[in-house]
Amino acid sequence: MGDASPMPDASDTGVEFLRTELRTGLTMARIALEAQSKDKVDRNRANARKAYDGGLRFIAKTTLKEEEADEIRGMITRLKLALADLGEPV
């Protein structure tokens, strides 16, 4: 039939989901930190918080290799610090 790429296993999918969720949260936090409008700050801070909370919930359900765990923990830490800078209790 042709060369079909192997399906990623569940742990690879989980790691990619975590990376995407946390990158999105970090982007939203950066936008909130740079925004001039209170509405834009509030909206992006709330979205960053959702990504942070989702990342925390999902990490417990995901099998991570040591290197992946270090990367994800670093992203969570950076997002937590950004949320704290925005006045979000974390």
| pLDDT (0 to 100) of residue 1 | 47
Residue 4 included in any domain:
no
CB 66 within 8 A of CB 13: no
Residue 55 included in any domain:
yes
Residue 32 included in any domain:
yes
Residue 76 lies in domain: 11-85
| pLDDT (0 to 100) of residue 12 | 84
More confident residue, 4 or 72: 72
Residue 44 included in any domain:
yes
pLDDT in tens, 35-55: 999 999 999 999 999 999 999
Retrieve residue 32's tokens: 């909130």
Q: What is the mean pLDDT of residues 57-64?
A: 92
pLDDT in tens, 2-33: 455 555 566 688 999 999 999 999 999 999 99
Task: Please report which helix (H) or strand (E) contains residue 23, including its range.
Answer: helix 10-34
Retrieve residue 47's tokens: 């979205």
Residue 3 included in any domain:
no
How many independent structural domains does the chain possess? 1
